């Protein structure tokens, strides 16, 4: 009788613990581990690929967007990731590679196990113009369809700040969104490169919803003036999430509503080794 009573009490304690843990998780805005963009650790990857993958794993991260193969074959990089329980969900290439090396890009993405192929720039000299935007629309539709039809991959374009030139009642970024085919062209929102030119990342997520498949999570140093359409800012203007100018909780809430699945931290600063763990702590501390 006493044995059965102890067993029942133990079961009740375990159940209470599980329910309590679930309730805590439900109160968190961002309970999961974020992903990471390999560019964050570009200097470390250049010296030691396996060691850098170990560092990523030690931070509790399992989701990676690779922007380079770091002198490895896609197959070998995949093996190193698999051995550590890491997954490459997105592979970034250049605009030129999208046009001239589409098959190479697609095959590398598949070998890595990625679902997305990402481009983060549109070649242009001087201010970004409607002609540049029109050419990008044509190329994104064409090669996005090719990647989808031939490789089952989703093409995503990553904004870089220069696209927000005013156009009609919006910007050239709006033009690109409205004129690309949602079946073949999706988006990755870099929240710093939307915020710095003067846009509201949360409003963009609300406006275009499920066109967004992924975010680059970064924050802009306090005191840095907004309004630049240059697509450039010093790398050390990337600061720990929550310590800069961007309303990160508002962005995450809007991204949840939009159905965004991948939240990659990208920290381009020289302090990334110390800042990334702090950014993760910040994200996990947020409450709904």
Output the pLDDT for position 108: 98
Give the Cα separation of 34 and 62 in Å (integer).
Answer: 8
Kindly report, residue by residue over 96-148, the tens digit of the pLDDT. Answer: 999 999 999 999 999 999 999 999 999 999 999 999 999 999 999 999 999 99
Long-range pairs for 141-147 at CB < 8 Å and ≥24 separation? 141/180, 141/181, 141/184, 141/185, 143/98, 143/99, 143/102, 144/180, 144/181, 144/184, 144/185, 145/181, 145/183, 145/184, 146/102, 146/106, 147/102, 147/105, 147/106, 147/117, 147/184
Most distant CA pair in the chain: distance in Å? 83
- Contact at 8 Å (CB) between 72 and 49? yes
Output the pLDDT for position 23: 55
- Contact at 8 Å (CB) between 164 and 226? no
Q: What pTM, to 2 d.p., does this model score?
A: 0.91
Kindly report, residue by residue over 35-82, the tens digit of the pLDDT. Answer: 999 999 999 999 999 999 999 999 999 999 999 999 999 999 999 999
Could you tell me the fold of the domain covering 35-285? TIM Barrel (3.20.20)
All structural domains of the chain with their residue ranges: 35-285
């Amino acid at each position: 009788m006493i044995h059965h009573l102890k067993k029942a009490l133990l079961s009740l304690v375990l159940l209470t613990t599980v329910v309590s843990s679930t309730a805590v998780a439900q109160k968190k805005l961002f309970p999961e581990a974020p992903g990471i963009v390999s560019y964050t650790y570009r200097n470390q990857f250049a010296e030691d690929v396996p060691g850098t993958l170990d560092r990523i794993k030690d931070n509790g991260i399992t989701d990676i967007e690779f922007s380079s193969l770091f002198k490895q074959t896609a197959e070998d990089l995949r093996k190193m990731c698999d051995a550590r329980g890491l997954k490459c969900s997105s592979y970034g290439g250049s605009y030129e590679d999208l046009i001239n090396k589409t098959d190479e890009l697609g095959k590398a993405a598949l070998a890595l196990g990625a679902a997305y192929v990402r481009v983060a720039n549109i070649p242009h000299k001087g201010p970004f113009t409607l002609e540049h935007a029109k050419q990008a629309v044509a190329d994104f539709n064409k090669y996005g369809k090719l990647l989808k039809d031939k490789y089952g991959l989703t093409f995503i374009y990553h904004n870089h700040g220069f696209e927000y030139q005013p156009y009609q009642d919006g910007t050239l970024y709006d033009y690109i969104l409205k004129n690309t085919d949602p079946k073949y062209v999706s988006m990755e929102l870099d929240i710093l490169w939307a915020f710095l030119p003067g846009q509201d990342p949360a409003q963009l997520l609300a406006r275009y919803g499920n066109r967004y498949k992924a975010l680059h999570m970064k924050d802009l140093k306090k005191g840095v003036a907004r309004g630049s359409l240059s697509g450039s800012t010093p790398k050390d203007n990337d600061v720990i999430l929550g310590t800069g100018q961007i309303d990160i909780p508002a962005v995450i809430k809007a991204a949840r509503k939009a159905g965004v699945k991948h939240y990659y931290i990208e920290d381009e600063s020289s302090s990334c080794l110390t800042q990334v763990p702090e950014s993760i702590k910040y994200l996990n501390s947020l409450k709904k």
